[in-house]
Amino acid sequence: MTQEDVHFVDKSDETEVGEVSVDFAAPTLSKPGLLVMDVDSTLIDEEVIDELGEAAGKGEEISEVTERAMRGELEFCDALRARIALLKGLPVSVFDTVHDKLHFTNGALELIDTLHAHGWKVGVVSGGFHEVVDRLAAEGNIDFWIANRLEVEDGKLTGQVLGEIVCKTVKLHALRAWAERLGVPMSQTVAVGDGANDIPMIQAAGLGLAFCAKPKTQLAADEAINTRDLRLVLDYLR
Residues marked active site are found at 38, 40
What are the start-end ranges of the H helices in 57-156? 59-70, 76-85, 94-99, 108-117, 130-140
The DSSP H or E segment spanning 178 is: helix 168-182
Query: Contact, 76 vs 168, CB < 8 A?
Result: yes
Angle between helices 130-140 and 108-117 (to 10 degrees): 60
Question: Largest alpha-carbon pair distance within the chain?
Answer: 58
Q: Is 7 helix (H, G, I), strand (E, B) or coil?
A: coil
Look up residue 102 and give its DSSP letter.
-
Angle between helices 76-85 and 48-56 (to 10 degrees): 30
Q: Is 4 helix (H, G, I), strand (E, B) or coil?
A: coil
The DSSP H or E segment spanning 202 is: helix 199-204
User: How far is Cα 96 from Cα 56, in angstroms, rounded to an integer?
Assistant: 14
Query: Contact, 109 vs 140, CB < 8 A?
Result: yes
Query: Contact, 35 vs 233, CB < 8 A?
Result: yes
User: How far is Cα 198 from Cα 191, in angstroms, rounded to an integer?
Assistant: 8
